[in-house]
Structure 1
Amino acid sequence: MHTPLRIAVLECDTPTPNTNAKYGGYRGVFESLLKASARTLEQPERLNPDTDLEITGWDIVNGEEYPKLEEIDAVLLTGSKHNSFDDLPWIHRLVEFTKKAITHNRVRVLGICFGHQIIGRALGAKVGRSNEGWEVAVCDMDLTEQGKDLFGLDKIRIQQMHRDIVFDYPPDVIPLGHSPRCAVQGMYSPGHFVTVQGHPEFNGDIVSEIVGLRTEAGIFSKEQSVDALSRANNPHDGVAIGVVFLRFLLQGVE
């Protein structure tokens, strides 16, 4: 009998109200994605979706406790409404923990949106606001040759919700892809981490709720809102990306 895959989800934000009520935090959102991805993987002898995923959530915005690396197999850094470049105590703690996690000889790391940017920052890359503005809802991510090999696709369709970016690839990192509004859409270090700027865990309902609230708050214009909502429910490759994540994590426990 093999042991469960122990994944610590570092919750860098709280979801919007309806999403939070449905999933119980971003831990639940990612549990939904990873279980769906495990079912699609169709390798129950390696990863049973019902018994072999041990997913814990860690509120690292409001709390200071982090998982012990020797007690987990993987760390997942979620997206966030917060800025990855801010000079705040909790973000400094997160960056320092991330440095330890991505250099660990066994633990593997996944970075999503804000988490992708935090990994970039931990590696010394510049992170900040893009001059290209928001990238929202289902968009195309053009893959590098290495990205095509990793994902097994020529192009990725992925939900987006960002205007912050990693400006340049850190040294010794494999570029995975780009889009017209973001040159660094994903990073890969074999045996250490995989990141994407987009949100494989988001679905049309989640994106539509965020767009609605940000439109009400004046963050998105009416035109931006209409455009985003027109693409929010388009087909995307979230589960396929989740399958790649699981394959990557399983390599570390074999």
Structure 2
Amino acid sequence: MPPLRIAILECDTPPDTTNRRYNGYGGVFRKLLTASAKALSQPERLDPDSGLEITAWDIVNGEAYPKLEDIDAVLLTGSKHNSFDDSPWILRLVEFTQQVLAQDRVRLLGICFGHQIVGRALGAGVGRSDQGWEVAVCEMDLTDKGKELFGRDKILIQQMHRDIVFTYPPDVTPLGSSPRCAVQGMYAPRRFITVQGHPEFTGDIMTEIIGLRAKLGVFDEDQARDALGRADIDHDGIVIGTTFLKFLLEE
């Protein structure tokens, strides 16, 4: 069985401690996907030790992108940057995402900022929510398709965003919503799955980001306290990661 070749497009650099520990967001996702491959427990389809070939691409500071013929899937990470900006690297990313969406072999996973980029590439509006920040472990209500894919009635997922996809693009299946964000996940069979939350974030990563943003004045004291109180709650990151892998393996 050939390995599943996943190109992780790093749309940001993690805070210092997380960066040192994992070697970028590529390393954070490598850990999630490897743990998810073990949890999938189907070595005949995906060997957790040898079945994943993961490459990381710093697309903010570098201009190189993977060649589609060399990969099976693209994962767009989260980012502190705005998905609606017209910086050259963001416009390049939107264009590359449209190239992936225009073909039918390489599949796409979008996380937070990456979810918004997929929405933008499909023509949906993206921008600031009038509901403010959604931070730390929150509940995501699932649609019927969301329940089927994730195998849960609801999921708990780490959140760190105030930007959203405003509406579902045409021919896209909604996966879920929350009180602060109507478009929490998008799906098109054999093409893409996206989530607004962060299945890859651990309590430690979330705690570091909250602390950093509180210091910068992004969160006030009450917001930071509330978020820190939910940063380390058990969540369904591995369940979501397993769903991603099943989607990538589906024939």
CA separation in 1, counterparts of 2:35 and 2:77? Answer: 18
**Superposed counterparts of 1:1-254, under 5 Å:** 2-251=1-250, 254=251
1:50 is displaced (CA, Å) by: 1.1
1:213 is displaced (CA, Å) by: 0.4
1:48 is displaced (CA, Å) by: 1.0
Gaps of 5+ in 2: none
CA separation in 1, counterparts of 2:13 and 2:51? Answer: 26
CA separation in 1, counterparts of 2:231 and 2:244? Answer: 23
The root-mean-square deviation of aligned C-alpha atoms, in Å, is 0.6
TM value normalised by structure 2: 0.99
| SS of corresponding position for 2:156 | strand
CA separation in 2, counterparts of 1:105 and 1:36? Answer: 27
CA separation in 2, counterparts of 1:44 and 1:16? Answer: 34
Cα pair 1:103 1:192 within 8 Å, conserved: no
User: Between Structure 1 and Structure 2, how many residues are aligned?
Assistant: 251
1:129 is displaced (CA, Å) by: 0.3
CA separation in 2, counterparts of 1:183 and 1:105? Answer: 27
Gaps of 5+ in 1: none
In the alignment, residue 109 of structure 2 is paired with which amino acid? Answer: L
CA separation in 2, counterparts of 1:115 and 1:80? Answer: 8
Percent pairwise identity:
71
| SS of corresponding position for 1:86 | coil
CA separation in 2, counterparts of 1:15 and 1:104? Answer: 31
TM value normalised by structure 1: 0.98
1:102 is displaced (CA, Å) by: 1.9
In the alignment, residue 149 of structure 2 is paired with which amino acid? Answer: L
| SS of corresponding position for 1:156 | strand
Stretches (4+) displaced over 3 A: none
1:79 is displaced (CA, Å) by: 0.1
1:103 is displaced (CA, Å) by: 2.5
CA separation in 1, counterparts of 2:197 and 2:166? Answer: 15
| SS of corresponding position for 1:139 | strand
| SS of corresponding position for 1:137 | strand
| SS of corresponding position for 2:170 | coil
CA separation in 2, counterparts of 1:248 and 1:206? Answer: 26
